[in-house]
Amino acid sequence: MAFTPSSLPSLTGKIYVVTGGNTGIGRYTVQHLAEHGARVYLGARSESNANAAITEIKQIVPSADINFLQINLMDLKTVAVAAAEFKNKETQLHGLVNNAGIMATPFEKTKDGYEAQWQTNYLSHWLLTYLLLPTLLSTAAAPGSKPGDVRVVNLTSNGHNFAPSAGINFADIDLVKGGIWSRYGQSKLGNILHAKTLAKLYGPNGTSNEDKGIWTASVHPGSINTQLNKRTSSPLKMLGLVLRALGVYSTADEGSYSSLFAVASQDFKEGDVGGYFVPTAKKGKPSKKVGNEKLAEELWSWSEKEMRGKGFIDA
């Protein structure tokens, strides 16, 4: 049978963070985690939009325990502040869903100096995860913790196939000479490589000398009717309207199913760790670039160096 959120176990006592949790796939991810008893931190830029989503969810799930966590993925400083705020409030973290993203947007650089899609989709989530790693690892190592109790899920896309031929273009990380789709593809490939490296380092058989036990996955949610492409070029917006009219898109609720499966389902097994999933909750086959371990290692090293250089992680 296909996975649905109704099959999730009780999540009472567990704590989750979901970025982009005020709208689309993220909003339903928050809702379903909360209705199974989890405490959820809803990451969003706007407090008013987050509170509106929380109010809407509580009308459906009156007992929902949802907290606003302010984070702007276009501003790395807010990512660091959000991680610190969470750690000041909680000593445990059972699941991180790196959900927020933008798609096929015009070329733009963030205040931190990175191309917008690269930072929003990949780099800010890499930093958030890195800063929350101590909490994730200590939760996995806590007495009574079972394998699979702690997980990280990255939202990606089959659009990772549009990444440059080299996979990640370190010589031109902003892909100034690229196009909107190659930039999007590179960021989404980054999400998959990130999940695989986390599994390699901190998974059940991780090579890190630190504590282990984090289960990871990357998830392509499908073609979903969300606000993801609200900042895309006009021709793409028109295409989106046509596809919606034809009923090609799935709902945002359905788009949350694979994320929920990977972050909380008992049917997600140890053998699935580091895997790439497609609708609904099925193992998929990513591009050959995903199997390039050297590329994954180089991306992790590049990310560490960049974030150390900007003072966001320890030297």
Residue 106 lies in a domain: yes
Kindly report the pTM of this predicted structure.
Answer: 0.93
What are the start-end ranges of the H helices in the chain?
A: 24-35, 47-60, 76-89, 116-117, 124-141, 180-202, 234-245, 252-255, 257-264, 293-309
On whether residue 146 sits in a domain, the answer given is yes
Number of domains in the chain: 1
Question: Is position 212 within any domain?
Answer: yes
Per the prediction, the chain carries an average pLDDT of: 93
Q: Which residue is catalytic, options 14, 188, 200, 289?
A: 188
315 belongs to a structural domain: no
Average pLDDT (274-279) is 97
Is residue 125 included in any domain, yes or no?
yes
Burial pattern 162-176, b for ≥16 Cβ within 10 A else e, equals bbbeebbbeeebbbe
Domain containing residue 299: 5-309
In contact, 5 and 260? CB cutoff 8 Å: yes
Q: pLDDT (tens digit, 9 = 90+) per residue, 190-245?
A: 999 999 999 999 999 899 877 789 999 999 999 886 555 455 555 555 444 434 44
At 231-245, the pLDDT tens digits run 555 555 544 443 444
Give tens-digit pLDDT for 130-187.
Answer: 999 999 999 999 999 999 999 999 999 999 999 999 999 999 999 999 999 999 999 9
Residue 219 placed within a domain: yes
Question: Is position 282 within any domain?
Answer: yes
Q: Quick check: 64 pLDDT over 90?
A: yes
257 is catalytic: no
Which is the catalytic residue, given 28, 184, 257, 276? 184
Residue 314 lies in a domain: no
CATH of the domain at 176: 3.40.50.720
Residue 273 three-state SS: coil
Catalytic residue status for 212:
no
